[in-house]
Amino acid sequence: MYRVLGACYLAIGLTGCILQVQPPLPPFTNSESETLLSVASGNSPQNNNTKKVSFSEPSPTEKILTGKTSREMFLDPLCYVLMPALFCTAVGGMYMSATYKSFGEEHLKSDVFFASVGSAGAIFNGGCRVLWGMLADRIGVFEALMVNATIFPILFFIYNFAVAYEWSTMLIVCLMFRVYGGNYALYPTATAKLYGPLYAGSNYGNIFTLYGALTAVIMYVLGTSSIEYLSINYLILGCNLCGTGLVFVLRRVYKKRVEAEKREDWDGKNQTY
């Protein structure tokens, strides 16, 4: 069984490697193509209807090829809001996925039931990411993050009292997995929004490394402590609420930056050569 499972993971991993291709660049417009051809032939482009050229409006090709490096990202104060926001909003889901069986065993004793809960939760965890991505496309990634960071603490609070019955345990754990999985669809997009798509992979990788390291340390400390699960749950809930506040700050600052860039673009339209 484990060999078959390992072969499945290998096939999935290889498929993912094959699908990791560079996205196509947007096509040049007719005016861009004519300009490139004229410059390549050594002639200056002639156009009787010469338009003012704005220094502040990059072409679609330039827009997709911009971005800050990881070093530049770490020099941005907003990076130190984004990193703890990811940790605080996602640590609750990681903790729940590791301890829901141990916490629920105080009331429910069926190992088969908890295995079923874990299997169903994994489906919700993976399947929900497409839905969160669709929501981000519709209302904006930071608005979707705000929705995610608001719903999860509510579910986590209900989780403390829902493990007394099988149906409520199944329902609340699946809902929490559904919300928790959205972090891994939204934060890469948020990183690309803040620091550009060119270095989004390495930038998000650095942010996620901090989250992974801190989560591992906290899980080890809590696992070796003698604190009861209910007390730890409320501690994690407080961390989730901090994440909600950080996402609110993140969304607010991002909106202010966008508004400032729009004002700069408006002023830049008066610059011509």
**Any idea which residue has 């926001």 for tokens?**
85
- What is the mean pLDDT of the segment spanning 134-163? 94
pLDDT at position 84 over 60 = yes
pLDDT in tens, 157-183: 999 998 888 899 999 999 999 999 999
Q: How far is 83 from 246, CA to CA, in rounded Å?
A: 10
- Looking at residue 30, its pLDDT comes to 54
- Looking at residue 251, its pLDDT comes to 94
pTM recorded for the entire structure: 0.75
| Domain boundaries, given as residue ranges, for the chain | 86-268
Mean pLDDT computed over every residue of the chain: 82
Find, among 154, 153, 152, 140, the residue nearest to 252 by Cα. 140
Provide the pLDDT confidence category of residue 9 given band limits of 50, 70 and 90. confident
- What is the mean pLDDT of the segment spanning 3-10? 84
152 Cβ neighbours under 8 A, 6+ residues apart: 89, 92, 93, 176, 179, 180, 240
Q: Which amino acid is at 106?
A: E
Helix, strand, coil: what percent of the chain each, to 5?
A: 75, 0, 25
Would you put residue 177 in left (φ > 0), alpha (ψ -120 to 50) or beta?
A: alpha
Q: Which two tokens stand for residue 273?
A: 């050569």
From the candidate CATH numbers 3.40.1030.10, 1.50.10.10, 3.40.50.720, 1.20.1250.20, the one assigned to the domain spanning 86-268: 1.20.1250.20
pLDDT at position 24 over 80 = no
- Looking at residue 89, its pLDDT comes to 94
Does residue 37 or residue 100 have the better pLDDT?
100
